[in-house]
Structure 1
């Protein structure tokens, strides 16, 4: 189930990126993005740019794993723009924290890696990411989150 979800998310992301044009990294409408992420977890996604290479993101979502739970995360991200002329596609990576609120609440570390594409001539950005998780409290466990999303610059 998890393998097929990750494969579906990655395939969808590459299709979205393949059929999108190009835009400049510095052509952002604003420094704040708000949207949705679909996958594990599914919910609201917020991104606040600090520069053309750095941003903070946060998610408030529902995790479908186990009996279901609320998932809250925040990450510090670094971006490497892959097309030096237009800068519309960025590979990003970072470090953050995740809290899962359920009967067996967990606190852990996230290491997100993803791609973001700023759609030209719009206020929209698409992204997909995979985030390995290392839960530290109440016990040490390993898991992986992943999702595909779209945000609008507000």
Structure 2
């Protein structure tokens, strides 16, 4: 799985370096990847003068350790997650090449849960909660891509109310 992500990363990076005709914009679509918690594909739609919707689809539970206490048992693997945020963003420089953003949304996770009652066996645990994020995005002048760094948190509502998790990551997006 890590080799696949590394190959994808290098392929996308090569495409970004070869492209020189587009100017990075924040009022369109952008697609890329995010490394962190969660890791995976990232899609962002910019609209209006300072709004966006951000969607992450990928893995959950790999960055901070695959073994973690949860309810009366524990997680022992990486799971699948879908995370979405409504964002507000603002230029932090006159050239608008650095933008700050924050937003709120939700997250759905699916992981293997090992409760004591199953004596070492697992069940799939689907969880749902709210999340928030804040970050910085850098648009290099004359390039069609952007870099981002963000942090936030996840508060689970269903299966384990108030289970907390730090969500942070960095990534690269192609803007078109």
TM bin, normalised by shorter chain, reads 0.7 to 0.9
Picking from 61, 78, 81, the partner of 2:91 is 81
Is 1:98 paired with 2:97?
A: no
Q: Secondary structure at the match of 1:87?
A: coil
Displacement after TM superposition at 1:52 (Å):
2.8
1:27/1:124 CA distance change after superposition, 3 Å: closer
1:107-154, Cα deviation, whole Å (9 max, x unpaired): 000100111111110110100111211110012111111110000013
In structure 2, distance between residues paired with 1:147 and 1:68: 16
Picking from 38, 43, 52, the partner of 1:41 is 38
Q: Counterpart of 2:116?
A: none
1:30/1:82 CA distance change after superposition, 3 Å: closer
TM-score under structure 2 length normalisation:
0.69
Structure 1 residue ranges without an equivalent (≥5): 1-25
In structure 2, distance between residues paired with 1:29 and 1:116: 10
Q: Counterpart of 1:127?
A: 148
1:86-114, Cα deviation, whole Å (9 max, x unpaired): 11111110001100012222100010011
Matched-pair contact (CA < 8 Å) for 1:29–1:123 = no
1:51/1:136 CA distance change after superposition, 3 Å: same
1:70/1:39 CA distance change after superposition, 3 Å: same
CA RMSD, aligned part only? 1.7
In structure 2, distance between residues paired with 1:152 and 1:44: 12
In structure 2, distance between residues paired with 1:29 and 1:129: 17
Matched-pair contact (CA < 8 Å) for 2:103–2:133 = yes
Bigger Cα Rg: 2
TM-score under structure 1 length normalisation:
0.78
Runs ≥4 in structure 1, deviation > 2 angstroms? none
Matched-pair contact (CA < 8 Å) for 1:117–1:125 = yes
